[in-house]
Amino acid sequence: MSGQKHDSQKPRFSLLPSTPLWQVVAVLEFGANKYGMDNWKTVPNARERYFNACHRHLNAWWAGEMVDGESGLPHLAHAVCCLMFLMWFDGVDDEKLNP
């Protein structure tokens, strides 16, 4: 007898490369320990600030600096977190963020 699982139309998280994913999680943990869990959701002017932070991390990486001096984690992982935050904010109504 052969088992079945109807998951051909479901997301394949196994496609995500594991090393960068672990680095992104490490950045999120660093931020949660420093600022509190999910604090990024309540930062004033978050879209502009995370856009700017993303560019700072990308520019540092582009200039040859691979690792953020404060966290010891890759600048690209920080940039990915900023982009994820921006994607999250795009799906949230501004009035829910700032009632």
Residue 32 lies in a domain: yes
The pTM for the full model equals: 0.86
Residue 26 lies in a domain: yes
Residue 6 lies in a domain: no
| Residue 96, pLDDT above cutoff 80 | no
The 10 Å CB-count burial string (b at 16+, else e) for 14-28 is: eeeeeeeeebbebbb
Residue 2 lies in a domain: no
Residue 70 lies in a domain: yes
Q: Tell me the CA distances in angstroms from 39 to 32, 42, 63, 81, one per residue in order.
A: 7, 6, 29, 13
Residue 4 lies in a domain: no
Give the pair of three-digit tokens for residue 50.
């995370």
Residue 3 lies in a domain: no
Tens of pLDDT, residues 13-50 = 999 999 999 999 999 999 999 999 999 999 999 999 99
Structural domain boundaries, residue 46: 18-97
Count of domains observed in the chain? 1
